[in-house]
């Protein structure tokens, strides 16, 4: 006998609407291939007209969350509202009624995962969030059920489609940040207020979730070093390109002997690296495990149907699996006191300066680098000068973040040069 599973969808905007469309149009396909009949039994959206315009029958439109979670026909509740306000209240209401929850809400999972999981465990129901990270790319399932034989030592990913689109335009057309952002907003890749994306918050929430799962310990988003792309210049992208590097906003996690290192920032990577060819709104995550070595997952990082693909994947998984998995670590509000975090991380660096065109200046500058133990790999003059100052590009060997900060502060306090940009470099 085929199992019937009832689903409620909270919010039918971009992702929720795509989820309703996918579940409705593919219902017979799932019956045939998954041996389960998944039926949308309830929809809650404060814009009833919008819901009906995408085909939601009026008779399944709920008027309150209480109506949804007390409906005996509903087994799984899908939340696509977003944010940490009403979405959290609605998810807790569903979990406390014993309903399994599927969500695409990365901010909520990053900030309140512990609260939600506690409620799920208490009521013996599932909590699934594949769509919270990297859109349609099945990274959560891979970490849970694909590479669990490994100790993951390194994770590096392009996890935000908006910033990747902007940087792609700056790389390919030479556009400045402001113009590339306007084009991303025009095409719908960037919000009117792009802060969450361009300042790195979105990527930080995702890295918090992914690194917690990969390294089997809670990594709060507050432990992650974050720097966005607002200050990125097309000059630096062009100079890097000449020298064989591509600029990406990367989410980086490393599990080292010194501790866990987690950071989000613009990064130069060799143009031969697989992540360098991930362009526009596409995302990818590059994993390194002690047994499998390198694995890369690539695909659409956002959008109605790619994200709904991940949501519906979780719905199908929940509908066809009676066993429930929770976190492989102690999931609390803060990090485990035993977990060490590296704050003074090491990286190679690209530094662009405007230097006084005078004899002896270069020797004094290299002396400052030497004073703080920063070893230089290459020095190159690039571009034309400004007001008697010449542009100079310096690449360093791998060195400590704090050492580079000291060098930059010392140079800027002198009359020798001014530091225009500092970009970290990963192999």
Q: 38-89 pLDDT, tens per residue?
A: 999 999 999 999 999 999 999 999 999 999 999 999 999 999 999 999 999 9
Q: Is the pLDDT of residue 344 over 80?
A: yes
Residue 206 known to be catalytic? yes
Choose, from 99, 106, 111, 206, the residue flagged as catalytic. 206
Q: Cα(321)–Cα(295) distance, rounded to whole angstroms? A: 26
Indicate the helix (H) or strand (E) that contains 169: helix 161-173
Phi, psi values for residue 97, rounded to 5°: -95, 5
pLDDT for position 357: 86
What number is the average pLDDT over the span 117-139?
Answer: 96
**pTM exceeding the 0.85 threshold for the entire prediction:** yes
Q: Is the pLDDT of residue 288 over 90?
A: yes
pLDDT for position 386: 74
How far does Cα 77 stand from its chain's mean position? 24
Q: Is the pLDDT of residue 383 over 80?
A: no
Q: 155-173 pLDDT, tens per residue?
A: 999 999 999 999 999 999 9
Q: Are 289 and 251 in contact (CB under 8 A)?
A: no
Q: Are 389 and 417 in contact (CB under 8 A)?
A: yes
Mention every residue, 6+ apart, whose C-beta is less than 8 A from residue 52: 58, 61
Closest CA to 201 of 167, 168, 163: 163
Q: Cα(366)–Cα(77) distance, rounded to whole angstroms? A: 60
Q: Cα(246)–Cα(268) distance, rounded to whole angstroms? A: 5
Strands (E) across 199-307 are located at 225-226, 245-256, 259-270, 282-289, 293-300
Q: Is the pLDDT of residue 1 over 90?
A: no
Question: With 0-12 CB in 10 A as exposed, 13-18 as middle and 19+ as buried, what is 152?
Answer: buried
Structural domains of the chain in order of their starting residue, each with its CATH number: 3-132 (3.40.50.720), 139-299 (3.30.360.10), 346-425 (3.30.70.260)
Q: Cα(362)–Cα(355) distance, rounded to whole angstroms? A: 8
């Amino acid at each position: 006998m085929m199992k019937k599973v009832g689903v409620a969808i909270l919010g039918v905007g971009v992702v929720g609407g795509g989820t309703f469309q996918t579940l409705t149009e593919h219902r017979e396909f799932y019956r045939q291939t998954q041996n389960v009949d998944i039926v949308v039994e309830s929809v809650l959206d404060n814009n009833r007209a919008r819901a009906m315009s995408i085909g939601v029958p009026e008779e399944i439109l709920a008027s309150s969350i209480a109506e949804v979670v007390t409906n005996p026909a509903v087994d799984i509740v899908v939340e696509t509202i977003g944010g940490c306000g009403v979405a959290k209240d609605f998810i807790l209401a569903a979990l406390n009624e014993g309903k399994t929850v599927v969500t695409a809400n990365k901010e909520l999972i990053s900030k309140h995962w512990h609260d939600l999981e506690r409620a799920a465990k208490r009521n013996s129901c599932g909590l699934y969030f594949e769509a919270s990270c990297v859109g349609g790319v099945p990274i959560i399932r891979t970490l849970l059920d694909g590479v669990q034989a490994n100790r993951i030592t390194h994770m590096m990913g392009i996890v935000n489609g908006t910033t990747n689109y902007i940087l792609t335009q700056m790389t390919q057309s030479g556009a400045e940040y402001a113009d590339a952002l306007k084009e991303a907003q025009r095409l719908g890749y960037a919000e009117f207020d792009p802060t969450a994306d361009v300042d790195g918050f979105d990527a930080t929430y995702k890295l918090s979730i992914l690194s917690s799962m990969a390294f089997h310990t809670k990594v709060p988003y507050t432990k992650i070093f974050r720097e966005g792309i607002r200050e990125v210049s097309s000059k630096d992208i062009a100079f890097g390109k000449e020298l064989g590097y591509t600029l990406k906003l990367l989410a980086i996690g490393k599990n080292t002997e010194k501790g866990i290192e987690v950071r989000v920032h613009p990064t130069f990577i060799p143009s031969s690296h697989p992540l360098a060819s991930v362009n526009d709104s596409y995302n990818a995550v590059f994993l390194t495990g002690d047994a499998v070595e390198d694995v890369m997952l690539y695909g659409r990082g956002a959008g109605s149907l790619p994200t709904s693909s991940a949501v519906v994947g979780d719905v199908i998984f929940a509908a066809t699996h009676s066993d429930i998995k929770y976190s492989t670590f102690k999931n609390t509000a803060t990090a485990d006191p035993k977990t060490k975090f590296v704050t003074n991380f090491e990286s190679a660096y690209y530094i662009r300066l405007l230097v006084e065109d005078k004899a002896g200046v270069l020797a004094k500058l290299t002396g400052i680098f030497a004073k703080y133990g920063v070893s230089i790999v290459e020095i190159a003059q690039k571009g034309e000068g400004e007001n008697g100052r010449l542009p100079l590009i310096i690449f360093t060997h791998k060195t400590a973040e704090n050492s580079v900060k000291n060098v930059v502060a010392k140079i800027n306090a002198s009359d020798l040069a001014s530091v225009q940009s500092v970009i970290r470099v990963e192999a």
